[in-house]
Amino acid sequence: MLSDRQLANLSSDASLKHGVRAADGAFMLCDKCPLRTRCEECEAGGECAIERQYVADRRAQLAALEFIDPIIDGPALSVLVWQEVRITRAARYMAASGELLPGAEAGYLEAQPLDRNLSTLVNSWWRGLAALGLTPPERRRLSTTGNAGPAAQIAAAIRQIAGERAPDPEPVDAEFTATDEEAVEDGA
């Protein structure tokens, strides 16, 4: 059984100890953004309004695609959008601080540590796009094979089950009496 505190953390407006809202994810804090001095939306102590707007718009844009089911594909959509946000953060940081660590002017060139992780972020994003059928190769494959893969069959079954509703039982207007002698003797 969940405690009251655990239940409170599951609500959509819960704020956890580290300041991350469970419903939204972790938006960049304006105070930590490398572009805070040049951003018109920057608000001291606030969260990135640009990221918040992007996440809302991008989720709506992807959910509106005809072959995307927001219920079944919702978690994958969220992961994909957050990967895009992380890639954009990395690009913002690299744009503000450069691709090389300080000291490159002395002849020693060393790439930002983030540069090593950028390809991992992009590959993860690309796999998310492919999982949702949003890459050109996946769209071609789906157009030739149709929507008949195992995931599509499971999704169709879930939609069918969700659409079916068990009929309400008919009310019985009768009186019940026990006929088993042992049950009657035991007072049941």
Chain segment 99-139, per-residue pLDDT in tens: 888 775 666 778 888 888 888 999 999 999 998 888 888 87
Q: What is the spatial distance between Cα 143 and Cα 130, in angstroms, rounded to a whole number?
A: 14
Torsion sign, CA atoms 23, 155, 81, 60 = negative
How far are the Cα atoms of 112, 177, 182 from residue 186, in angstroms, in the given order? 82, 14, 6
User: What is the mean predicted confidence (pLDDT) over 44-48?
Assistant: 86
- pTM flag (> 0.85): no
pLDDT of 126 = 93
Taking only the tens place, the pLDDT of each residue in 85-99 is 989 888 888 888 888
pLDDT of 139 = 78
**Residues in Cβ contact with 188 at an 8 Å cutoff, skipping those fewer than 6 apart:** 178
